[in-house]
Chain A
């Protein structure tokens, strides 16, 4: 890449008058200005105004509607147990694993779905939920549980395979990016959304 005479940059940045530019430098200046002019030219476009206005007029579902939607959608159910129950659980799990079974364990996943596990440590929180691109950033659909009150909240849900952005919402008002997420993306408002990648058949 060849360097441009700094005076051309200065003219384009409004730091130097055009008249003070030597004539041999003007063709490069004019070529860049012409390129920008071409890019500024009017273009045919499909207006999205009607769609956007329809979208923002559409009433957002209330808490009961969101609950109903959550109930009819498929979810993996996670049960947290106290340590004293762990032996019994281990025996039960061993029995299930060791005894031949013709059935399937866990939710039945299509080839385009996987299970996403969300875990966060929020001691003292009254509620924690996960919202993200998979809930259209609406809250109320996917609560996390902390049944043993140790401050570790978790849940598992079936999601379409692929990449999803998400945040935790603590006590219904504090938005927190998952500190354990491996990847983040700018959310457009100066903060970071966490990224989860769900692979088909993930369990």
Chain B
């Protein structure tokens, strides 16, 4: 995620707090792709995800002084974007992803590999969308974003045993759904 010559998060945060607002661009470039992927998997819509990430990054900049551990900026900004996603989901009639949010059907003009991958993505996204928001968040943070349970606890505010239970239930539900489509 971070090239060896790039300054660590804590250094960049210190630069921003000392008045170098442009340095915040380093953090944006560093984390935007992962945050966007996380938000897309949570919301099922790339556009809604872009809004959540943009709002989250602006909030992160404006409240940067409240980031008590700049070395852990990553989990802090995940937490902000996760909360933006929850606010977005709370405004929906249901926290489930709607069929309109599924990835587009593959274009038959694409090659066979791309078609297969698009079909897999549609299938898995559909299965993910059937999970509750809490289980979806736990599964995505663990298996898509690769966070440890300790980091997930910092992001979600939930206890580690609770998170483990959510991940386990999510795996079981996903496996059930994926079996149905085989």
Contact = CB atoms under 8 A, between A and B. Distances in A.
Judged by DSSP, the binding face of B is: helix
B83 A45 contact: no
* Residue from the set A34, A41, A56, A57 with the largest chain B CB neighbour count within 10 Å: A56
Interface string A9-32: 100110000000000000010011
Contacts, number: 114
A87 interface: no
Contacts of B40: 43, 45
A2 B172 contact: yes
B171 A48 contact: no
Interface residues of A, number: 39
Interface stretch (B2-10, B54-62, B92-100): B54-62
Interface in A28-48: 28, 31-32, 34-36, 38-41, 43-48
A40 B32 contact: no
B66 interface: yes
Interface of B: 21-22, 24-25, 28-29, 32-33, 36-37, 40-41, 46-47, 49-50, 53-54, 56-59, 61-63, 66, 79-80, 83-84, 86-87, 90-91, 117, 120-121, 124-125, 127-128, 140, 143-144, 149, 157, 164, 167-169, 171-176, 178
Interface of A: 1-4, 8-9, 12-13, 28, 31-32, 34-36, 38-41, 43-49, 51-53, 55-57, 137, 163, 185-190
